[in-house]
Chains A and B, each alone.
Chain A
Amino acid sequence: MTATPESPTPKSAPQPAPAAETRPVRSAVVIGGNRIPFARAHGAYAGASNQDMLTAALDGLVARFGLQDERIGEVAAGAVLKHSRDFNLTREAVLGSALSPETPVYDLQQACATGLETVIGLANKIKLGQIDSAIAGGVDSTSDAPIAVSEGLRSVLLELGRARSPKQKLAALARLRPKDLAPEAPSTAEPRTGLSMGEHQALTTAAWKITREAQDELALASHANLAAAYGRGFFDDLITPYRGLVKDGNLRPDTSLEKLAKLQPVFGKTLGEEATMTAGNSTPLTDGASAVLLGSEDFARRNDLPMLARVVDAEAAAVDFVHGKEGLLMAPAYAVPRLLERNGLRLSDFDFVEIHEAFAGTVLCHLAAWESEEFCRNKLGLDSPLGSVDRARLNVTGSSLAAGHPFAATGGRIVATVAKLLHEQAAAEGRRGRGLVSVCAAGGQGVAAILEAC
Chain B
Amino acid sequence: MNAHPEAGPASRREEVRLPELPSVSRLLVHAATTAARERLSGTSRPAALPAVRHTVDSVRVELERLTRFQHLVGGTVRDSLPSAFLHTVTFPVAMSVLTRADFPLPLPGLVQLANHVRQYRAVHFAEPLTLSAWVENLRGHYAGTRLDVRTEVLADGEAVWQGTSEYLAKGVFRPGLDTGARPAREDFTPPAPTARWRLGVDAGREYAMVSGDFNPIHLSTVSARLLGMKRSIAHGMYLASRVLAGIEAVAGDEHEWNIRFAAPVYLPAALALRIEDESRNEHWVASSFTAWGEHSRRLHFSGSVRTL
Contacts and interface: CB of A to CB of B under 8 A. Distances in A.
B276 A194 contact: no
A181 to B, nearest CB: 14
A270 B294 contact: yes
Interface string A196-214: 0001000100110000000
B275 A323 contact: yes
B246 to A, nearest CB: 6
Interface string B258-290: 000000000000001011110000000001000
A203 B198 CA distance: 19
Contact of B275 (A191, A207, A272, A324): A324
Contacts of B195: 192-195
Contacts of B197: 194
Interface in A61-106: none
B144 interface: no
Chain A: interface residue count, which band?
10 to 19
B22 interface: no
Interface string A149-181: 000000000000000000000000000000100
Interface string A249-271: 00000000000000000000011
Given A194-B197, A324-B275, A324-B276, A271 B294 contact: no
Given A270-B294, A324-B276, A325-B277, A194 B196 contact: yes
A324 B192 contact: yes
B104 interface: no
A182 to B, nearest CB: 11
A199 B197 CA distance: 13
A159 to B, nearest CB: 12
B192 A271 contact: yes
A270 B295 contact: yes
B44 interface: no
Interface in B245-265: 246
A390 B126 CA distance: 62
A195 B193 contact: yes
B109 interface: no
A203 B192 contact: yes
A322 interface: yes
Interface in A377-408: none
B281 to A, nearest CB: 16
A206 B192 contact: yes
A323 B192 contact: no
B276 A199 contact: no
A271 B194 CA distance: 11
Contacts of B189: 272
Contacts of B194: 193, 195, 203, 322-324
B106 interface: no
B189 to A, nearest CB: 8
Interface core residue of A193, A270, A323 (most chain B CB under 10 Å): A323
Contact of B274 (A199, A270, A324): A324
Contacts of A193: 194-196
Interface in B21-35: none
Given A270-B272, A270-B294, A270-B295, A323 B277 contact: yes
Contacts of B198: 194
A179 B189 CA distance: 36
A272 B295 CA distance: 10
Nearest to A321: B194
Interface string B171-213: 0000000000000000001101111111000100000000000
A210 to B, nearest CB: 15
A203 B191 CA distance: 11
Contacts of B275: 322-324
A191 B197 CA distance: 10
B280 to A, nearest CB: 15
A427 to B, nearest CB: 49
Nearest to A177: B202
Interface in B5-48: none
B257 to A, nearest CB: 15
A272 B294 CA distance: 10
Nearest to A272: B190
A271 B189 CA distance: 11
B116 to A, nearest CB: 22
Nearest to B72: A151
Nearest to A273: B192
A191 B74 CA distance: 9
A220 B276 CA distance: 37
B61 to A, nearest CB: 21
B178 to A, nearest CB: 39
B303 to A, nearest CB: 14
Contacts of A194: 195-198
B293 to A, nearest CB: 10
Contacts of A199: 196
A272 B275 CA distance: 17
A153 B246 CA distance: 26
A193 B192 CA distance: 13
B246 A192 contact: yes
Residue of A179, A194, A206, A270 ringed by the most chain B CB atoms within 10 A: A194
B177 to A, nearest CB: 40
Interface in A20-37: none
Nearest to A320: B277
A189 B202 CA distance: 21
Nearest to A194: B196
A186 to B, nearest CB: 15
Interface in A310-338: 322-325
A323 B272 CA distance: 12
Contacts of A192: 195, 246
A323 B275 CA distance: 5
Nearest to A179: B202
Contacts of A272: 189-190, 297
Nearest to B289: A323
B277 to A, nearest CB: 5
Contacts of A323: 194, 246, 275-277, 287
A199 B273 CA distance: 13
A187 B246 CA distance: 19
Contacts of A191: 74
A195 B287 CA distance: 19
A322 B246 contact: yes
A272 B202 CA distance: 29
Contacts of A195: 193-196
Contacts of B277: 323, 325
8 contacts: A193-B194, A194-B196, A203-B192, A271-B193, A272-B189, A272-B297, A324-B192, A324-B194
Given A194-B198, A199-B196, A206-B192, 6 more contacts: A192-B246, A193-B195, A203-B192, A323-B287, A324-B194, A325-B277
Interface of B: 74, 189-190, 192-198, 202, 246, 272, 274-277, 287, 294-295, 297
The 4 closest A-B pairs by CB, nearest first: A324-B194, A193-B195, A194-B196, A323-B275
